[in-house]
């Protein structure tokens, strides 16, 4: 469990590679300074900031944003560095300087590269300060620790840097402000001014804020719209959805900046691509939310102006009333046109980015028709993420965003085999949906096998009634699974009992710090349990064992991929509710929907299926099996 720090408290850091995650209620710039044994910053070259975002062992975001991820590698820091100070500052604005006291309290968290929190700190008690030292990583007697600081500076970034002994503090603070201003000018379009309404005699403003949704990522400003800005993206803020943004300043040659694959924060290309894909998802969600809000606003404005024109009996009929209604409709059409133009511009940029990112994705994150699979070889390192399918929205249907899941899987996957409406309201029959669900499950199982080094991942199959035999042929024909699929209640009991004992054994070894005392010949490979037709063949004991594996298995390398129709398990009543809630539900029907937790967009989901007629599964599994034989 992560340590909840208070000001002045410290906590040991268990590893060298870390992420510092910053979440604020408004765009802030994040930076870091390097200090010697006395904490002194020796020069501007010891400061990572948006104008110079990379130093040995440190990488920060190149613009102001409501969220940041700072990459830190303590082992890569220069020998003279004994302290890393993480700082936040508010960018200047035309209306006057912002102060932290007027915003929601920023939050800082130190995490492992996989996202596991080590320590967190909420910066409370700030008032007139416009710059603050959030955290301090320091080395003491060869070990690194993190300290919660929360020291604010009313004099801003220049005062903060000067307090750390930097002689050129004022000049560097000015350079940082210019770098932030350049990034905002390049990437953040200014909102159009409201179009005054002759009918009302006053300018119309945007609609009231949308109802607040659950926001687990903390992207919502205190009283404003959700900020979907990804820390590695070029957008700094989310423009007001009520009015469509103006076109951004053109880059050289009158064209927007050319997208580059891997243009995100991360220590490796795979991590950069992963962060870039999620940034694309967030950008598409943001721009679509802005478009939908603008359309709603235009509709409500048209209704209001029409009501105002009809309210006066003197102009309700005749030329004056017709002219007022026509003017209202023209303004409505203009607002819709502006909103669509802004959406089309953003979608075009994301489409161009997708065209360079898709070919660069590693096999684990690539489509099955990507050439990377045709040149497949068993990897030497495990992947960091897995492609589950694609997502898109109706306003930008041609644009597909990969749905990536971090590995190892912290949640099991449930492929829903119940009937669901497909594209164009076509409803597959029950048998067709079940077969499609097994095809999706097998494709995911093959992908997991293929992207792990030889001997580090195994698949076990429970098929109590034998209904998945045809779909399982790619796995069984090549011998890629650990033994034949277990059938009947006896097979279910044997496999679940074996995996339950494995989880118990590894958990006890980890708790006792005695992982080297595991039995000789113990298979340390991660295990994927593929269950078909749940709950057929399961009694109460087997159901409880399955729930245990779902809860405790991922932490010790046992993962679940279940194909089931929840209606089939209705006889168990609420007993299985915790099981369903703990799994990530995926639909096998192309065109079905998934809802995001931020604004509730109904994303259209397409599973990662092999193209019809392709022999890529057979080719990949043949390579995996050959590598296993050679490994033995």
* 256 pLDDT more than 60: yes
Domain boundaries in the chain? 3-187, 196-365, 410-513+523-631
Most confident range, picked from 82-96, 312-326, 530-544: 530-544
Q: Over pLDDT 90: what percentage of the chain?
A: 46
Average pLDDT, integer, range 594-599: 67
The three-class DSSP label of residue 608 is: coil
- Confidence (pTM): 0.64
Q: How confident is the model over 175-196, as pLDDT tens digits?
A: 888 887 765 543 333 333 333 3
d(CA 538, CA 535): 5
pLDDT of 93 above 60: yes
Rg, the chain, Cα only: 28
Contacts of 323 (CB under 8 A, 6+ apart): none
Hey, what are 220's tokens? 């919502």
C-alpha dist (Å) from residue 48 to 26, 276, 545, 613, 630: 21, 21, 50, 52, 48
The pLDDT value recorded for residue 258 is 81
Phi, psi of 149 (to 5 degrees): -110, -70
What single string gives the DSSP state of each residue in 327-371? HHHHHHHHHHHHHHHHHHHHHHHHHHHHHHHGGGS-GGGS-TTSH
Q: What is the C-alpha separation between 288 and 520, in angstroms, rounded?
A: 56
Checking DSSP bridges between strand 526-534 and strand 457-462, what pairing results, if any?
Answer: parallel
Q: Read out DSSP for 363-395?
A: GGGS-TTSHHHHT----SS--SEEEEEEEE-GG
Residue 404 has pLDDT above 50, yes or no: yes
- Long-range contacts of residues 113-119, Cβ cutoff 8 Å, at least 24 apart: 113/17, 113/18, 113/19, 113/267, 113/271, 114/406, 115/19, 115/406, 116/2, 117/2, 118/2, 118/3, 118/11, 118/13, 118/14, 118/18, 118/146, 119/2, 119/3, 119/4, 119/5, 119/11, 119/146, 119/148
Maximal CA-CA distance, the chain = 95
Question: 5-14, 167-176, 229-238, 342-351 — which is least confidently predicted?
Answer: 229-238
Query: Which pLDDT score, from 0 to 100, does residue 594 have?
Result: 76
Q: What's the chain's length in residues?
A: 632
Q: Is the peptide bond before 535 cis (omega within 30 degrees of 0)?
A: yes
Of the ranges 266-275, 285-294, 344-353, 591-600, the best mean pLDDT one: 344-353
Considering the domain delimited by 3-187, tell me its CATH architecture: Sandwich (2.60)
* Paired residues of 151 in beta bridges: 133
Backbone angles phi, psi at 379, to 5 degrees: -75, 160
Does the pLDDT value for residue 586 go beyond 70? yes
Q: How far is CA 159 from CA 135, 199, 206, 266, in A?
A: 17, 51, 38, 30
Of residues 523, 379, 502, 358, the one with CA closest to residue 447? 379
**Mean pLDDT, residues 201-214:** 30
pLDDT, tens digit, 9 for 90 and up, residues 1-60:
678 898 888 999 999 999 999 988 788 899 999 999 888 999 999 999 988 888 999 999
- 10 Å CB burial of residue 26 (0-12, 13-18, 19+) is buried
CA distance 547 to 541: 10
Percentage of the chain surpassing pLDDT 70? Answer: 84
Confidence class for position 254, pLDDT limits 50, 70, 90: low
Predicted local distance difference test score (pLDDT) of residue 103 = 84
User: Tell me, what's the pLDDT at 185?
Assistant: 43
Q: What is the pLDDT of residues 127-164, one digit of tens each?
A: 889 999 999 999 988 899 999 999 999 999 999 999 99
**Which residues make Cβ contacts (< 8 Å) with residue 568, sequence separation at least 6?**
533, 534, 535, 536
What's the mean pLDDT in 502-512?
A: 88
Residue with tokens 């499609």: 436
Q: Is the pLDDT of residue 527 over 80?
A: yes
Exposure b/e, 578-594, CB count within 10 A at least 16 = b: ebeeebeebbbbbbbeb
Q: Look-up: residue for tokens 């041609």?
A: 398
Domain 410-513+523-631, CATH number (from 3.40.50.2300, 3.40.50.1820, 3.30.70.1450, 3.40.50.300): 3.40.50.300
CA distances (Å), origin 451, targets 425, 446, 458: 36, 9, 12
Task: Taking residues 198-224, report their average pLDDT.
Answer: 32
Please state the rounded mean pLDDT for residues 301-328: 78
Average pLDDT along the chain: 82
- Read off the pLDDT of residues 315-340 as tens digits, 9 standing for 90 and up: 666 777 788 888 889 999 999 999 99
Backbone angles phi, psi at 55, to 5 degrees: -130, 165
452-473 confidence digits (pLDDT tens)? 999 899 999 999 999 999 999 9
Comparison of pLDDT for 248 and 361, the residue scoring more: 361
DSSP letters spanning 102-134: GSPPPEEEEE-TTS-EEEEEE--S--S-SEEEE
Confidence label for 430 from pLDDT (cuts 50, 70 and 90): confident
What's the CA gap between 168 and 158, in Å, rounded?
A: 9
Is residue 284 within 8 Å of 343, Cβ to Cβ? no
- How many Cβ atoms are within 10 Å of 571's Cβ, its own excluded? 8
- Cα dihedral angle (158, 163, 166, 172), rounded to 10 degrees? -10
Q: Between 598 and 102, where is the model more confident?
A: 102
Mean pLDDT, rounded, for 375-392: 92
- Residue 599, pLDDT above cutoff 80: no
Closest Cα to residue 66, out of 182, 280, 209, 238?
238
> Could you tell me if 594 and 401 are in contact, meaning their C-beta atoms sit under 8 angstroms apart?
no
């Amino acid at each position: 469990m992560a340590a909840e720090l208070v000001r002045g408290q410290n906590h040991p850091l268990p590893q060298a590679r870390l992420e510092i995650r910053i979440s604020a209620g408004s765009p802030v710039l994040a930076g870091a300074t390097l200090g010697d044994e006395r904490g002194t910053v020796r020069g501007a070259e010891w400061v990572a900031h948006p104008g110079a975002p990379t130093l040995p062992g440190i990488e920060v975001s190149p613009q102001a944003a409501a969220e940041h991820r700072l990459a830190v590698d303590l082992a890569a820091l220069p020998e003279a560095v004994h302290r890393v100070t993480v700082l936040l500052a508010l960018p200047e604005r035309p209306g006057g300087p912002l102060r932290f006291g007027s915003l929601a309290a920023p939050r800082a968290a130190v995490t492992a590269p996989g996202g596991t929190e080590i320590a967190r700190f909420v910066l409370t008690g700030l008032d007139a300060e416009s710059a603050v030292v959030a955290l301090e990583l320091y080395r003491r007697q060869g070990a690194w620790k993190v300290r919660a600081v929360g020291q604010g500076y009313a004099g801003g970034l220049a005062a903060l840097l000067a307090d750390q002994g930097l002689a050129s503090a004022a000049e560097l603070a000015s350079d940082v402000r210019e770098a932030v201003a350049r990034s905002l000018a390049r990437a953040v379009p200014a909102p159009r001014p409201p179009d005054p309404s002759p009918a009302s005699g006053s300018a119309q403003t945007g609609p009231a804020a949308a109802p607040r949704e659950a926001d687990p990522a903390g992207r919502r400003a205190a009283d404003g719209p959700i900020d979907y800005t990804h820390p590695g993206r070029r957008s700094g803020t989310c423009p007001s959805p009520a009015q469509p943004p103006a076109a951004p300043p053109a880059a050289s040659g009158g064209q927007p900046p050319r997208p580059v694959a891997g243009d995100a924060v991360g220590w490796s290309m795979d991590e950069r691509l992963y962060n870039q894909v999620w940034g694309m998802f967030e950008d598409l969600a943001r721009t679509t939310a802005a478009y939908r809000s603008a359309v709603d606003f235009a509709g409500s404005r048209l209704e209001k102006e029409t009501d105002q024109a009809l309210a006066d009996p003197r102009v309700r009929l005749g030329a004056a009333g017709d002219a007022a209604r026509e003017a209202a409709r023209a303004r409505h059409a203009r607002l819709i046109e502006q909103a669509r133009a802004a959406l089309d511009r953003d979608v075009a940029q994301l489409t161009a980015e997708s065209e360079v990112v898709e070919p660069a994705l590693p096999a684990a994150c690539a489509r099955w028709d990507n050439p990377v699979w045709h040149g497949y070889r068993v990897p030497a390192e495990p992947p960091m993420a897995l492609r589950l399918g694609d997502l898109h929205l109706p306003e930008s249907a041609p644009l597909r965003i990969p749905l990536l899941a971090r590995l190892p899987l912290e949640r099991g996957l449930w492929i829903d085999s119940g009937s669901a409406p497909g594209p164009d309201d076509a409803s597959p029959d029950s048998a067709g949906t079940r077969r499609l669900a097994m095809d999706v499950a097998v494709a995911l199982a093959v992908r997991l096998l293929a992207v792990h080094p030889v001997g580090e991942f195994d698949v076990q199959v429970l098929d109590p009634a034998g209904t998945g035999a045809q779909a399982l042929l790619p796995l069984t024909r090549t011998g890629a699974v650990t033994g034949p699929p277990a059938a009947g209640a006896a097979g279910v009991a044997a496999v679940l009992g074996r995996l339950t004992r494995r989880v118990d054994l590894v958990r006890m070894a980890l708790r006792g710090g005695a992982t080297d005392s595991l039995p000789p010949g113990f298979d340390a490979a991660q295990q994927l349990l593929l269950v078909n037709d749940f709950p057929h063949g399961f009694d109460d004991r087997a159901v409880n064992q399955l729930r245990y594996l779902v809860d405790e298995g991922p932490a010790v390398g046992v993962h679940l991929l279940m194909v089931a129709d929840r209606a089939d398990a209705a006889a168990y009543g609420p007993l299985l509710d915790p099981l369903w809630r703990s799994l990530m539900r995926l639909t096998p029907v192309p065109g079905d929907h998934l809802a995001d937790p931020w604004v509730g967009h109904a994303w259209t989901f397409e599973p990662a299926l092999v193209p019809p007629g392709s022999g890529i599964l057979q080719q990949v599994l043949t390579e995996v099996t050959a590598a296993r034989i050679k490994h033995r």
